[in-house]
Amino acid sequence: IFHLSTHATETDSVSKMPSIYFSDTSLNINQIYASKIKANFVVLSACKAGIGEAIKGEGVMSLNRGFAFNGVSSILSNLSEINDESSAALMNNFFEFLKNGDRKDLALRKAQLELINSEDFTKPCFWASYNLIGDTKPLFEKQTNGKKYLFTILGLLGILFFGIRTLKLKSK
């Protein structure tokens, strides 16, 4: 997972290309094309990271395209301005659902519903701009609660044992 939580624009004032900004530098779409990113999933938690110029015969020239060109199979980005606080809350929930084995699309939906049901971030401007493209498979296997299954089996064996014992006592 490659997660960037920063600022982005659909057209940089210098390069005139989609760019993502860090404290001391920026990275534009051509630099992303030229990089060797080794990630299955990129999260661009940045304003307008999924927006770019639509070019006839090519498609949308956004940061998403640069990462997809590098073989990234799933990209989560934003289509509008985002709020820092709601973005942090959504991302925390999203990664928690991913960690529990949910598919990426389901984890995003659940995280968005958490915000919708909160007191502070119910409006769509806080959660609706997130756009998932590509592979939606889970990143992690669902965690099963082994103790739960163990106690269920032991409970059933106990009921079976005492049931058989009770039947034997009644038949005597």
Q: Residue 74 half-sphere exposure, CB side, CA atoms within 13 Å?
A: 18
Highest mean pLDDT among 8-12, 95-99, 158-162: 95-99
Token pair, residue 19, equals: 């760019």
Q: Looking at the whole model, is its pTM more than 0.85?
A: no
Instruction: Pick the closest to residue 10 from 84, 72, 81 (CA basis).
Output: 81
Place of tokens 């094309």: 33
42-71: pLDDT as tens digits: 999 999 999 988 999 988 899 999 999 999
HSE toward the beta carbon, residue 51, CA cutoff 13 A: 15
Give the C-alpha distances (Å, rounded to integers) separating 91 from 8, 35, 44. 17, 25, 11
